[in-house]
Structure formats: structure tokens, C-alpha cells
A and B are shown apart, each in its own frame.
Chain A
Amino acid sequence: MDPNSRLVMEDSQRTLTPYVTGTSVIGIKYKDGVLIAADMGGSYGSTLRYKSVERLKAIGKHSLLGASGEISDFQELLRYLDGLILYDNMWDDGNSLGPKEVHSYLTRVMYNRRNKFNPLWNSLVLGGVKNGQKYLGTVNMIGVHYQDNHVATGFGNHLAIPILRDEWREDLSFEEGVRLLEKCMRVLIYRDRSAINKLQIAKITAEGVTISPPYSLKTFWEFSAFKNPTAGAEGSW
């Protein structure tokens, strides 16, 4: 083996760039628990290649994980978490891992991978309810983690968080929460090129986790400016 090919082999073992990626995830706390929304798109670079990617998954009894970024790394994370939850269930002793524990565990995993220069190329939103306590946190690929009443990843940080900062309240009802999330998702559909108009919203309460079936939002494209797009600058070809 010549030294060059060896280097290539080593590098291909590490994540250098993401390939199939998901776009933003938005999460908010509301009166009875946590709501998290994500669309179902998996982009292959600039192509919207996959249109039914489930980016929200329930973890154990109390938590839900939403991921943006590399989909294969998200699947890897789900395998880690499967093992973790299984191990937790095997104890069979009345204790269970809550969202705080899962979030902390994910932080450790993400940070450790980053230290080995082989990151899991994701930004994660982790929400859950345990013993009446609502929890919403985020971790990203370099291990930055925090909790808040509303979090978002990717483009959501720029387009959704300002809306949430203005309009989020402690005592949002379920309908109000969904409406707020849909408002943010609509902006993302219009303005984020990797977002598609097919989304899921997940609800986590003390009763458990439910993920809605995929649905679309009504959008409006009949702006007069769209009717004759080249009106301002007619080209010859």
C-alpha cells in the first residue's frame, strides 16, 4: 500500500462533509409539554432528493429527538440511543431515562466525536416531559448545548427564532402552539431552499409522545410580482 492511498483510507473514515441532509427543526414548550416540528426533506446537495425522511423520533417513554444535518449520522445516533434505552429498560427497576439524561448523553457523544475530529454532522433538538417537568434542549455537532423555551436548528435559527421570541408565551395551548410552529415552518418553506412543504409536528406530554402524520401547509404564490418575473429586466434570451 503506498502512503497516499493509506491517507485516503483514513480520511474516508471520518465525516468531512455531509451528503444527505435535513434542514431546520423547531421546538417550543407549551402548556402541557413540548412541540417539535420538522419537514420531511432530505437534500442531496442542492437537489431535494428524498421527500419522506422522518426526522423526528421518539426516544424511550419521555423524549423526542429531532435532527437536522447528515441523515446517516442521525440514523447512527438512533442506534446508539436504541442501545441506551434497551439497557435502561433491562434494569426493569422503575427508573427510566428522562429527557435531561438523554440530552446530557447526546452532548457527551457529540462532543467526544468532535474531539476525535470525526463529528456526527447533526444539530439535534431534544424535548420531553418527565414527572411533570418539561424539557427542551439542543446539541450540535461541535457539542454546543443549551436549553430554552424555544430552540431551532439551521435556518430556523435565523428565520423562526425571531418570530418565537416575539410571540412565544408560557401558557400556549396546543392549538396556539401548533399555529405558531406552522407560522415558522411557512416562512421556512418560502425562504429556505432545502425545505419542502411536507411536515410533521410531534407532541410530547406527560401521557407520551405522538408524531403527526405528514401534512402540507397552504402557501400563496399568486403575488403579482411573480406573474411577470422579468418585468423589471427583460432579457434577450
Chain B
Amino acid sequence: MEAVKQGSAAIGLRSKTHVVLACVNKAQSELSSHQRKIFKVDDHIGVAIAGLTADGRVLSRYMRSECINHSFTYESALPVGRLVVQLADKAQVCFLPFDFVLVVLVLGSSDFLLKLDFCLVVIGSSFGELWRDLETRDTPRSRRAKSLQILQTYCLTRVAGHYKINNSVEVCTQRSWKRPYGVGLLVGGLDESGAHLYYNCPSGNYFEYQAFAIGSRSQAAKTYMERKFETFDSASREELIKHALFAIKETLQGEKLKSSICTVAVLGVGEPFHVLDQQTVQELIKSFEVVEEEAPAPQEPSAAPEEAAAPAAEAAAAPMEE
């Protein structure tokens, strides 16, 4: 979660027919190139990430393979909602930084006990439900005590794969080689039921949004979008992109918005997911700024540049809401 908060900002917003993802691309130095934070997952799904971009790449590769497999078997686009659930489940299975041992009776057989924490990786997340249940009710210590008691009375049988179980019940619980995916994903997609925007946390939770922002200084963007989100549903493609650019501008806190530091991607009905090239973005920025510069002239010509950012956006909003 912290990793997400420290990554550079990414925002997403949707209308009924389009989804726009945008992010701030800060290069490490003048000499280096920008990190890619927006990935195309399929013609109808794209993802913007914030946090550990390496983890983001791994997850977008997973998403791409899920989409392609679905396309191959069913010759149709994978509904975004299902992809997002599969992604969220992935977060649950892969990392288990919990200090307890869960013991479960396997259905149908005569009292097998399996040490489950990393068995989940092999057996599958169907036991995850039980496991999550226990987790919320007991404290780690009481869970451990209970499960150790049970372990002592039954003999443990095989656990697939990684490690052996000691009969002396010296079980290690935390794995040093496993950690959560440190990346937040804004998944935007289009399916039969319309355009969707989801946010997937490293915790495995996911939520659907009309508009959202993640990463550092995302609160400024969220504030802007909270003011405007009611118009998003029926906004046109151009208005949506404009709102996205303004939201990005908010996160820059006074720095000038240039196409070299931001990336914008669009997808919608009749328009497969694609990243807008720098020139297009620069032209869009220019066209929005022209309207913006007109507005403060009659209002606050002497305003300092940093302060002009907020009132300018506000003033610019007025003519555009017409």
C-alpha cells in the first residue's frame, strides 16, 4: 500500500462509452527515458499502474494471457469485471505474511490434515475462503495454539511441493522469499455492460469507480475529479481527455503540464485501447490552455503563477461547463 502511495500519479476516469487513463511520467534524469506505466491488456482493456512497476509488468502480463486465453476459447472479449476478480484473487494466493498455521480437514477423506499456508499455492484458492474466515476471527496467537494442538494429535501427511513437515511441530510460518505485489492497478475496460474503471489494491481488494487517482499527490487530482465527476457519465471523448489532463495538472502542483511528462491512453466504443502519441497530447494541452488563459485575464491578472493554477482551473471550468 505504501509502495502505491509513493509511486508517481496515475488517474483514470470513465464515461458511459469511454475510459481514459493518464499518468505522470517522471524520468529519473534528463538522460534516461520514462518508465512505462500504462499497458494495453487487450483491445478492450488497458491498465495504469502506480508503485513497483516491475510488479505491474508481471501482473499486466498475467492479464494479457488471461484475455488471450479467453479470446481463444470463446472468441469473445473477456468481461473486465471477471479479469479484475481473477487479479484480486491472485493477490491473495501469492503472498501470505501471516504468523499462523492453518489446519483443515480435507473433504471426503478420513481426517487428513494439511499444513495450508503455502499449500494454497498448489491446491488452489478454494480453501482461501476458510482460511480468510479464521483469520478474521482469531488472533494469531490463539490460532497458532489451536492448530499446534491439533497437529500434535494427528499425523501430518504430505504437502505438495516445497517443504517437509516436522513432527516436532517446529513450523516456520513467514516466508522470506514471498511478498505482496507492491502495485496498485487502475484497470479500465469496455464490455457488454458498458465502460468500467476498477482499482485493484495490493491487498486483493478491488473497487469500481467513476474516476480515481492513485500515487503521490493523487489527492489533488481526486479533489478535482470529485468536483467534476457528475458530468463524466455523459461527457464526450474530448471532454473526458480534457478532464484527465486537468487532473494530472493538479498532481503536478504548479509545474507546467507538458506532453513529455504525461501519458494519456483512451479506449471506447469503436475505439480499441491505444496510447495517444506525444504530439496529439501536446496539441490537446495547448488547446485546453488557450481556453484557460482567456479566463484569468478578466479575473486575476496579477495572480502569482502557483496560485493561478487553482483559480485558473476553476475559472476555466466555468466556460467549459457550458
Q: Decide whether A and B assemble into one complex.
A: yes
A94-B193, A95-B191, A95-B192 known; A104-B76 Cβ under 8 A: yes
Q: Tell me whether A97 is interfacial, beta carbon within 8 Å.
A: yes
Inter-subunit contact B74/A97 (CB<8 Å): yes
Nearest CB in chain A to that of B76: its residue: A101
Bitwise interface map of A from 62 to 105 toward B, beta carbon under 8 Å scored 1, else 0: 00000000000000000000000000000101110110110111
With an 8 A cutoff between CB atoms, is A108 at the interface? yes
Q: Say yes or no: B73 contacts A105, CB within 8 Å.
A: yes
Q: A94-B193, A95-B191, A131-B192 are in contact. Are A108 and B73 (CB under 8 A)?
A: yes
**Quick one: closest A residue to B75, CB to CB?**
A104
Q: Is B141 among interface residues, defined by CB-CB distance under 8 A?
A: no
Select one of A91, A95, A100, A131 contacting B75, CB under 8 A. A100
* Complex partner residue of B82 from A95, A98, A105, CB under 8 angstroms: A95
Q: Flag whether B51 is at the interface (Cβ < 8 A).
A: no
Please list the residues of chain B having a beta carbon within 8 angstroms of any beta carbon in chain A. 72-76, 79, 81-82, 85, 191-193
Closest Cβ of chain B to A117, distance in Å, is: 21
CB distance from B119 to the nearest CB of A (A): 23
Contact A101 B74 (CB under 8 A): yes
- CB closest chain-A residue, reference B72: A108
- A85 and B156 CA atoms in complex are apart in Å by 38
- Total contacting residues, chain A, CB less than 8 A: 13
Give the complex CA separation of A105 and B75 in angstroms. 8
Q: A101 to B81, Cβ gap below 8 A? A: no
Chain A residue numbers with a CB within 8 Å of B75 are 100-101, 103-104
- Chain B hits for A131, CB < 8 A: 192
| Contacting residues, chain A, for B193 (C-beta < 8 A) | 94-95
Given the complex of chains A and B, what is the CA–CA distance between A183 and B79 in angstroms?
Answer: 42
A104 — which chain B residues lie within 8 A by C-beta? 73-76
Give CA–CA (A95, B73) in the complex, Å. Answer: 16
Instruction: State in angstroms the CA–CA spacing of A97 and B78 once bound together.
Output: 11
For the complex, what is the distance from the CA of A101 to the CA of B192, rounded to whole Å? 13
Cα(A108)–Cα(B81), bound, Å: 24
Shortest distance from the beta carbon of A135 to any chain B beta carbon, whole Å: 11
B82 partner residues in chain A, CB cutoff 8 A: 91, 93, 95
Set of chain B residues within 8 Å of A98, measured between Cβ atoms: 76
* Contact partners of A95 in chain B: CB under 8 A: 79, 81-82, 191-193
- Show 11 A/B contacts (Cβ-Cβ < 8 Å), sorted by A: A91-B85, A93-B81, A94-B81, A94-B193, A95-B193, A97-B74, A100-B76, A101-B74, A101-B75, A103-B75, A104-B76
CA of A198 to CA of B76, assembled, Å: 37
Given the complex of chains A and B, what is the CA–CA distance between A64 and B18 in angstroms? Answer: 34
**Whose C-beta in chain B lies nearest to the C-beta of A95?**
B79
Set of chain B residues within 8 Å of A105, measured between Cβ atoms: 73-74
The residue on B at minimum CB distance from A93 is B81
Q: Which residue of A lies closest to B191 (CB)?
A: A95
Contacts of B85 in A (CB 8 A): 91
CA distance A118 to B75 in the complex (A): 24
CA distance A131 to B82 in the complex (A): 20
- In chain A, what residue has the closest Cβ to B193? A94
Chain A residues near B74 (CB-CB < 8 A) = 97, 100-101, 104-105
